[in-house]
């Protein structure tokens, strides 16, 4: 009799048994998942969490439950503004690749970053003790920037960011659509298409892109909130490979310009700021450093130094020497 009152469904790719004629809300309760930290999809349709008490689960249904993983408003002096988000720090830090959540949270605190990138992934429904990012980094104190890490087409990227918005109303997002699994370079055709759709849906889109000035202009015309050209391939640590193109983008755009991907050390971050970028996004260079906390602090001051250098106005370059001591009074 009990078997007849049960149905088989898939939750995050795993087969589970659930009560017949029961609701999504009770499924979440049974799995002991905190509703305020997740988004729910039923048969590829994103659910309004306010209505899940009325939505029934049927036999062979496919349920996806996702959350943010390692991926505010401030009253102090403002240095960088992204739409309605006002930031003190021009350094944005990624939350992936750290040894654990504690290391991630401490490195971010040391870096002084106000904003962190977060990825959207399935909740582990069988390990209730697995930590959630929100338990370590409070989204009320640190701005979450949901991204589309791991997406290789527009369809997946759009789905991911719509789920991110459902988790907690996030509209400011980072879009990245990759074109190649080895180089992780962006697919700019899919990226541009996604930008156009997302901006029409009310998203504020910070766009990871290549260092092509023409494509950067197209993204701006499509409604992008910020342009985020790569310095080099993601995680490569090579630093800025095409400084000229970055400078051209800086000259032609009024949008925030943030270097994303390829930063390897503090001098790379400083150079990005010196050529006029508004900010730098760094993950691997901090997370995989031998001393992540020291590198986080180094990146903090590199960004500050680079920005001050840019605002100060460098001297003109000259192939000949120019003595600093006066000739008058020589012995």
CB 206 within 8 Å of CB 238: no
Q: Is the C-alpha dihedral spanning 305, 307, 312, 318 positive or negative? A: positive
Per residue in 242-269, pLDDT tens? Answer: 999 999 999 999 999 999 999 999 999 9
As a whole number of angstroms, the distance between CA 286 and CA 112 comes to 13
- Give the angle subtended at the CA of 209 by the CAs of 72 and 273, to the nearest 5°: 60
| 138-192 pLDDT, tens digit each | 888 888 899 998 899 999 999 989 988 888 777 899 999 999 889 999 999 999 9
User: Fold for domain 70-312?
Assistant: TIM Barrel (3.20.20)
Catalytic residue list contains 86: no
Q: Please, where in the chain does CATH 3.20.20.70 lie?
A: 70-312
Q: How far apart are CA 307 and CA 89, in angstroms?
A: 11
Task: Report the pLDDT value the prediction gives residue 125, as an integer from 0 to 100.
Answer: 64
Contact in structure between 229 and 216 (CB atoms under 8 Å): yes
Maximum pairwise Cα distance, the chain: 110
- Are 147 and 118 within 8 A, CB to CB? yes
In this predicted structure, what is the pLDDT of residue 85?
Answer: 60
Residue 327 — φ and ψ, nearest 5°?
-80, -30
Question: Model confidence at 127, in pLDDT bands (50, 70, 90)?
Answer: low
Instruction: Go through 266-293 and write b for each residue having 16 or more CB atoms within 10 A of its CB, e for each that does not.
Output: bebbbbbbbbbbbbbbbbbbbbebeebe
| Cβ proximity of 29 and 143 under 8 Å | no
CA–chain centroid gap for 173, Å, is 7
Distance of alpha carbon 279 from alpha carbon 306, whole angstroms? 10
Closest CA to 228 of 148, 112, 120: 148
- Domain 3-65, CATH number (from 3.40.50.300, 3.30.365.10, 3.40.800.20, 3.10.20.30): 3.10.20.30
Between 82 and 108, the higher pLDDT residue: 108
pTM (two decimals): 0.80
Answer for the pair 250, 258: CB distance below 8 angstroms, yes or no: no
pLDDT at 88 over 60: yes
What confidence category does residue 18 fall into, taking pLDDT thresholds of 50, 70 and 90? Answer: confident
Write the pLDDT tens digit of every residue in 262-302. Answer: 999 999 999 999 999 999 999 999 999 999 999 999 999 99
CATH 3.10.20.30: which residues of the chain? 3-65
Active-site residue (options: 49, 86, 99, 174)? 174
pLDDT of 74 above 80: no
Cβ neighbours for 59, distance < 8 A, ≥ 6 positions apart: 7, 8, 9, 20
């Amino acid at each position: 009799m009990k078997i007849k009152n049960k149905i088989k469904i898939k939750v995050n790719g795993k087969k589970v048994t659930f009560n017949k004629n029961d609701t999504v809300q009770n499924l979440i309760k049974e799995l002991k998942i905190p509703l305020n930290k997740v988004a729910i999809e039923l048969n590829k349709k994103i659910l309004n969490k306010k209505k899940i008490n009325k939505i029934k689960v049927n036999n062979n249904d496919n349920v996806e439950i996702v959350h943010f993983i390692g991926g505010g408003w401030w009253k102090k002096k403002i240095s960088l503004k992204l739409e309605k988000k006002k930031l003190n720090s021009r350094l944005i830090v990624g939350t992936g690749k750290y040894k654990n959540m504690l290391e991630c949270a401490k490195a971010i605190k040391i870096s002084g970053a106000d904003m962190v990138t977060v990825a959207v992934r399935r909740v582990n429904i069988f390990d209730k003790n697995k930590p959630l990012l929100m338990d370590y980094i409070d989204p009320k104190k640190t701005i979450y920037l949901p991204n589309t890490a791991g997406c290789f087409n527009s369809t997946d990227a759009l789905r991911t960011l719509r789920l991110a918005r459902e988790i907690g109303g996030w509209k400011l997002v980072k879009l990245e659509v990759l074109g190649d699994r080895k180089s992780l370079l962006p697919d700019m055709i899919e990226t541009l298409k996604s930008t156009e759709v997302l901006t029409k849906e009310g998203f504020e889109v910070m766009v990871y892109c290549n260092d092509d000035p023409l494509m950067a202009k197209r993204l701006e015309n499509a409604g992008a909130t910020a342009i985020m050209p790569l310095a080099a391939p993601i995680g490569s640590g090579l630093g800025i490979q095409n400084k000229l193109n970055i400078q051209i983008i800086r000259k032609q755009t009024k949008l925030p310009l943030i270097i994303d991907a390829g930063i390897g050390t503090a001098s790379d971050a400083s150079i990005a700021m010196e050529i006029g970028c508004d900010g730098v996004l760094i993950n691997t260079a901090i997370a995989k450093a031998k001393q992540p906390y020291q590198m986080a602090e180094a990146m903090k001051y590199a960004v500050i130094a680079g920005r001050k250098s840019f605002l100060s106005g460098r001297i003109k370059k000259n192939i000949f020497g120019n003595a600093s001591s006066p000739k008058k009074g020589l012995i």
